[in-house]
Amino acid sequence: MQPPGPRDPLIRLCFFREEGTNVVQKICFSTQIIRHFESKLSDTIEVYQERIQWLTENSKKAFGLIKGARVSILIDVSAISSGPQKEEFQKDLMSLIDEQLSHKEKLFVLSFGTNAGSLWPDPMEVSASTLQELKLWVKTLQPDGGSNLLQALKKIFTLKGLDSLVAIMRSCPDQPSEILSDYIQQSTTGRDLIIHFITYRCDDQMPPAVLKNLAEAVRGYYHCYSPKMEHYTSRDMDELLAEIQKAQSLLSHVQALQHSSPCEALTCTMEEPRN
């Protein structure tokens, strides 16, 4: 190994005992190492930002990223009305079918209002014919009173072999969140099921926080979409934004320490628990 040059100072490692409980390490890193670390942090932030942009495109903007391979879709039709909004909802559902659902292995779809009704009696293998049948079914959706999510969930949980549940909500469920949360947790015990709650154009009927809190209670995913306000958020986006914030904070901290250092090295401290 070559000895360090004048612009590449040695890494110094000093130990100080603190009240007999911890060891504080004081370390100096070379400028080259610091710049490489800053570059990697900046690259990571850029990747996260590109991922967020990708999540706001096409059907992912309206419904989020649907996870799982064998998917059940629950569509709330309580707030479906005739006119441009209904046509836009159907158009967004068609986009979801083409861009995401067409790549799944199995599908089961159910619409619910006061009552619940499914397109097929059992989950179907994804094929050109089943996707076409699904598109025709979407065009027939009609409003149906309330939003009996509990009844729809009861129908879904009788099915076997599904690994993903997606509830697309247009209004506030008839049942309180506590009842829905308890029922979902009881029904999914021992099952590996990914749960998504999506709010679509229902700001007036239900604050997005209602389903977000429900999704978090059952360790599921949420996605809120409001085209009127050009607002969309989701667990995926929130997690990425949190990682970006942490990376930016660390980058700022590193830069601040570097500017305050008297030499071309960065000094930082960290605590190492005593074995």
Same domain flag for 86 and 214: yes
pLDDT band at 232 (very low <50, low <70, confident <90, very high): low
CB 69 within 8 A of CB 105: yes
Model confidence pLDDT, tens digit, residues 153-208:
999 999 999 999 999 998 889 999 999 999 999 999 989 999 999 988 766 666 66
Res 116: pLDDT: 94
181 burial type by CB count under 10 A (0-12 exposed, 13-18 middle, 19+ buried): middle
What is the sign, positive or negative, of the torsion defined by CA atoms of 157, 161, 164, 170? negative
CB 111 within 8 A of CB 73: no
Same domain flag for 209 and 255: no
Give me the domain span that covers residue 49: 13-53+247-273
Same domain flag for 36 and 130: no
Q: Which residue has the tokens 């059940």?
A: 72
Model confidence pLDDT, tens digit, residues 9-44:
433 333 344 555 565 556 666 778 778 888 888 899
Task: Count up the domains in the chain and report the number.
Answer: 2
Same domain flag for 97 and 177: yes
3-state helix vs strand vs coil in the chain, percent to 5: 40, 25, 35
Same domain flag for 252 and 189: no
E runs forming strands in the chain: 13-18, 22-30, 70-76, 106-112, 116-118, 124-125, 164-169, 194-200, 221-226, 231-234, 265-273
Same domain flag for 181 and 88: yes
CB 83 within 8 A of CB 91: no
Question: Does residue 2 fall inside a structural domain?
Answer: no
Distance CA 121, CA 119 (A): 7
Same domain flag for 174 and 83: yes
- Among 19-23, 45-49, 213-217, the minimum mean pLDDT is found in 19-23
Question: Does residue 103 fall inside a structural domain?
Answer: yes
The torsion angles phi and psi of 17, rounded to 5 degrees, stand at: -85, 135
Distance CA 96, CA 169 (A): 15
Question: Does residue 154 fall inside a structural domain?
Answer: yes
CB 28 within 8 A of CB 9: yes
- Among 7-11, 130-134, 175-179, 252-256, the minimum mean pLDDT is found in 7-11
Question: Does residue 5 fall inside a structural domain?
Answer: no
CATH code at 132?
3.40.50.410
Both tokens assigned to 244? 């970006």
76 burial type by CB count under 10 A (0-12 exposed, 13-18 middle, 19+ buried): buried
Distance CA 260, CA 153 (A): 59
Same domain flag for 96 and 211: yes
Q: Is the pTM of this model over 0.85?
A: no
